Amino acid sequence: MTQLNEIPAGASAQMYGVLRAGIDALDLQQSITFQAYTLTILPIDQYVFWQPTTIVCVQGALTYSQQIEQNEDETFGDASVMFTSESEVTNFTDSPVKTLYVASVDGIRFAFMSQRGFFDPAGLYHYFGHSIPPALASQLLDAPGKIDPKQAVVSNSLPLWLALNNYQPKLAGWYSNSTPIYPSFLVTPNLVPPYISVHIGEDDTTADQMAPFITPQGDSYLLCRDRVRLTLYGLQNNAAQDFINCVNQYSLYSCNFGICNLPVIRDAKRTQAELLTIAMKKVVDFEISYNQSRVAVVAQQLIKQAIVTVELSTQLPNP
């Protein structure tokens, strides 16, 4: 517990004492236990999971508000939480971006997304977050065997695009790629360009044949088509053109997918008023055809040189 001689510089002893007494009354001198998790990424499609590691106990006051969310595919209680501590929780502020802290209070599991509202004379730290919806609870690997690391999570062409990471063709004079590629919404936090994200929406995958072909062994083959948007950051025109040429030659050489349209590089506008400039952002839309069974074949190639229990590097084997 913080002592009076530990009042932050410039703080009012009277204000600090009153607020400290309020916090002591709210938290009832109790500690909240947080489960720490470390980032785990599947090598096949870079799907993110969290593996439990250590336990951390922190004293403070927790308040939350809750409302019922009723969606098409789920109904759950959504809670916004605020955790107030008399001292900075260094576990939260100094931990790497690959670490997550989750607590369970009154049956609600929550994690923090930000710290704000700090007022120096009060000497109080406020951490804000949200409860974890049941649909996302499966990303926390609390029980062993919840996922099969030998299988991809996605059912679209994403593994085919991720195979372009560090792509080096075996034909002399063909284009290669050294720009890291990530799935949309799963780009490494605070990543500095250049990099490329691949987005395939839930409505962007369709079938190009009437029914799948099923072998006597139970293998299914279905010709599909994806609409794929690539977002390129930090690449000038020549580098962007070289990457598109690399994709075209990769499609021709590997036969992993066919290109059904004529992709065109377009300049996008990403601004920030403080900088009075625009980002080096480009987008390219592809329509590709591929066989879903072929995705499984490429995924198996990626498994051979990847370790599931650690974060996937950008060094992927060539298709």
Q: Beta partners for 100?
A: 37
Report residue 196 as tokens: 């490329």
Please give the Cα distance from 316 to 319 (Å, whole number): 9
**pLDDT confidence band for 33 (50 / 70 / 90):** confident
Q: What is the mean pLDDT of the chain?
A: 81
Least confident of 31-45, 66-80, 169-183, 289-303: 289-303
Name the 3-class secondary structure at 303: helix
Higher pLDDT, 87 or 28: 87
Which pLDDT tens digit goes with each residue over 83-140?
Answer: 887 767 766 766 667 888 888 887 788 887 655 555 555 567 778 888 898 889 889 9
Which pLDDT tens digit goes with each residue over 278-289?
Answer: 999 999 999 999
Please give the Cα distance from 134 to 254 (Å, whole number): 40
**pLDDT confidence band for 309 (50 / 70 / 90):** very low
- Residues comprising the chain, all counted: 319
Residue 5 has pLDDT above 60, yes or no: no
Concatenating the DSSP letter of every residue in 42-75 gives -TTT--EEEEEEEEEEEE-EEEEEEEEEE-SS-E
Give residue 101's pLDDT. 86
Q: HSE, CB side, 13 Å, CA atoms: give it for residue 26.
A: 18
Report residue 181 as tokens: 């590629």
Give residue 77's pLDDT. 82
Residue 249 has pLDDT above 90, yes or no: yes
Please give the Cα distance from 215 to 143 (Å, whole number): 35
Give residue 218's pLDDT. 77
**pLDDT confidence band for 294 (50 / 70 / 90):** low
SS3 content of the chain, % helix, strand, coil (to 5): 20, 35, 45
Higher pLDDT, 29 or 297: 297
Least confident of 71-85, 86-100, 159-173: 86-100
Give residue 299's pLDDT. 61
Please give the Cα distance from 225 to 204 (Å, whole number): 8
> How far, in Å, are 50, 138, 152, 300 from residue 147 at the CA level?
12, 9, 10, 16
Least confident of 16-25, 46-55, 294-303: 16-25
Residue 54 has pLDDT above 80, yes or no: yes
Show the DSSP H helices in the chain as ranges: 13-27, 90-93, 134-137, 158-162, 237-254, 292-303
Q: Is the dihedral of CA 127, 132, 138, 142 positive or negative?
A: positive
Domains identified in the chain and CATH numbers: 4-137 (no CATH), 158-303 (3.30.2000)
Using the structure block, give the residue that is written with the tokens 């909240």.
Answer: 32
Give residue 76's pLDDT. 84
At 221, phi and psi to the nearest 5?
-125, 120
Identify which of 253, 284, 246 has the alpha carbon closest to the alpha carbon of residue 266.
Answer: 284
CB 159 within 8 A of CB 299: yes
